[in-house]
Structure 1
Amino acid sequence: MLFPEEEKIIVEETRSNGQTVVEERSLVDTVYSLKDEVQGLKQEEQRARKELEKVVRRVLKSMDDPTWDETNL
């Protein structure tokens, strides 16, 4: 029988300062950490998409092309 909170894995992580850290974590801790990281990436992607949409709308408006308007997006 496996107990996830007792199972350990070795995790190698590169920090923002470029330092590589190797540590032992439980599977449960690793899963929660990955879940948080995925959630953060989803939020970052949503912000980036909204910002890109704003830029595209500005560029299209600045082109002053009457065939392009917001209804074409």
Structure 2
Amino acid sequence: MTEREEEDLLYECECFRILRFIDEEGRANMMVSFFDHGLDLYMSDEEFSHFAEAVGGITIAPQNVLHH
């Protein structure tokens, strides 16, 4: 990962935060940081847009569904 030149906090709650930053090559990137899991996802703006679109279309399954 390249160094971050500039960061903008786009969203933050008690579970995660989303940052947008410009790398040293001038490309816009996103980071989603999940606090309880110690997991950071780094994506380009285009990848993040695709990810947000996909997640926005997910329907949450009812709690009584069996998971294998």
TM-score in terms of structure 1 length: 0.36
Higher share in strand:
2
Higher fraction of helix:
1
Q: Which has the larger radius of gyration?
A: 1
